[in-house]
Structure 1
């Protein structure tokens, strides 16, 4: 049921902060606001924050549209927070972008890989990282930063170390063991904030990190000497995703905004400005083979590893507690 007209002059969107928010506010919101005569209220936070907000507001949802990572998005769908998307340009989308029952859709593909300071690596005559195992190298003691487990990048690293050592999503113990014994001793800090991450690199405290291709590209665009490696064992796929929130009085512009994010123009902009691999086949962003951060598009995107989110989400609370107890103590 559509809400009365007076409610339509305000659309509440929750999504990531940092450089992603800057691009939305500068390049994407003004066009949509003008087209639909609406004011967008943006609530910035990481995916875990946004999911927690949806849970806290369960009986009276303020949020109209949520932009969150694929893992938390599966949880949001399971908890009944997402409404089916009405006008999905299905033929134009890559199959990987779609969710079950079309209750969410990806707006961009990010690769989780290894970011490093190219300039300092050259000065120290260190080879560029090529493997997840490189993060165990004692020379990185005190200069490695990894986001914590409640962040998708940190989770990807844990799953990778489990998979490489006889385990996986269904047998996570080997991943914890590698973190505890071999990777953890090198870690300066388990940092979830994108702003703090770039600060640690800018100040020279951090030289290498597990991070996403989109964030790394935005950082490189500031002129920082960013290097970004797709590890030989495989980089992991993170689908930045959007869903219209299910509630008794929905704002019809929620659906319109989701459709807007799928358009070739927006998809091209998110590729050029933010480094997302596009999900719409008609997007025309420019690939640059000399760019410091290669975008996850074409074959690169096809080769990305996708985690088993159903298994992860069943166990994630227990893993988070264990992480706090054993790794980040």
Structure 2
């Protein structure tokens, strides 16, 4: 049985009963990421749901910030029923009252504990890991052992060879927080993180936000070591670049793609059912293959090749370090201004 047929079978038994009275003309709008994610939704994730329920689903592509802005603009009369965004922006959406409580379901009940959100106002959809990336050829040429720790960023031998995104970028933000934690601080006490970044700064080739430029610098070896995401590293490696991702011994930092039912959604029951569909093992596998984000449902089956590239299994999932965006988001603009004055001046 192919993936489409499996998905249809799962939906037919678990969702149709709850949507038996749905009008075949109903249309539900789902906001999420663009690119390969949009393609996967349009071609593989949405069709079996539509076939089983008679509901038309329209996918609205955009980045997380734009999606939350749409939710804010439509707060009084929402057009969207489901929103998929990263964890930081999702925290903003929740604090602004834009998400409704997720109802209990067999698939949502199966996810890893650290994929759940307090109050059940959202739930994880896929794990990304922020850690270290290095050019294997440069390391071999210099006789350097593979990096193992976030503290390796302070090693003077990498002078002029580090690539780190700025704090305005999610990867840079998590780097600053991890450096704070390593030096006695936290997101509630970021000063040690800034002091550590001042020590690291002289070795940095560029505080680069553009993923294409980061990929270029890593591929050419101009940058030997940096901070990046496991999924982006896997894509670059698949293109033949001599790069490898490292889960630091202190733990990689998680970026958790999340999904919520929009508060006062025009299609609330269908939205609840669609999220259960997204969290099913079959659709989790499709989502993982399209995004490189590890599945939150431990019952998901992946090929050995895909497993090796993503956050997969209890050991990797439990090792991920999370952050408190309810502390970060109110002061993030202040941190960015400080970064511009003290780190990138």
Q: In structure 2, what is the Cα distance between the partners aligned to 1:325 and 1:119? A: 35
Query: Map of 1:66-85 to 2, 5 A cutoff?
Result: 66-85=83-102
1:118 aligned residue: 136
Structure 2: where are the runs of 5+ without partners?
1-18
Q: CA deviation at 1:198?
A: 2.8
1:3-42 Cα distance to aligned partner (Å, 9 max, x none):
x969844524133x45544544554344445555525333
Structure 1: where are the runs of 5+ without partners?
none
Q: CA deviation at 1:199?
A: 4.0
Q: In structure 1, what is the Cα distance between the partners aligned to 2:218 and 2:37? A: 19
Q: Report SS of the residue matched to 2:299.
A: coil
2:194 aligned residue: 176
Report if aligned partners of 1:19, 1:218 keep a CA contact under 8 Å in 2: no
Q: In structure 2, what is the Cα distance between the partners aligned to 1:207 and 1:18? A: 28
Q: CA RMSD in A?
A: 3.1
Report if aligned partners of 1:8, 1:251 keep a CA contact under 8 Å in 2: no
1:165 aligned residue: 183
Query: Map of 1:188-203 to 2, 5 A cutoff?
Result: 188-203=205-220
Q: CA deviation at 1:236?
A: 1.7
Q: CA deviation at 1:212?
A: 2.0
Does 2:278 match 1:261?
yes
How many pairs are equivalent? 323
Change (3 A) 1:289 1:33: closer
Q: CA deviation at 1:195?
A: 4.1
Q: Report SS of the residue matched to 1:317.
A: helix
Normalising by structure 2, we get a TM-score of 0.80
Q: In structure 2, what is the Cα distance between the partners aligned to 1:9 and 1:122? A: 56
Q: Which moved more, 1:129-138 or 1:187-196?
A: 187-196
Report if aligned partners of 2:162, 2:224 keep a CA contact under 8 Å in 1: yes
Q: Report SS of the residue matched to 1:177.
A: helix
1:55-76 Cα distance to aligned partner (Å, 9 max, x none):
3444454443222222322221
Q: Which moved more, 1:294-303 or 1:255-264?
A: 294-303
2:320 aligned residue: 304
1:213 aligned residue: 230
Change (3 A) 1:63 1:151: farther
Report if aligned partners of 2:81, 2:267 keep a CA contact under 8 Å in 1: yes
1:246-304 Cα distance to aligned partner (Å, 9 max, x none):
2363465433332221010122233445433321122112345994x463422121122
Report if aligned partners of 2:298, 2:313 keep a CA contact under 8 Å in 1: no
Report if aligned partners of 2:135, 2:219 keep a CA contact under 8 Å in 1: no
1:155 aligned residue: 173
Does 2:134 match 1:109?
no
Q: Report SS of the residue matched to 2:294.
A: coil
Bigger-Rg structure (1/2): 2
Change (3 A) 1:86 1:274: same
Report if aligned partners of 1:268, 1:285 keep a CA contact under 8 Å in 2: yes
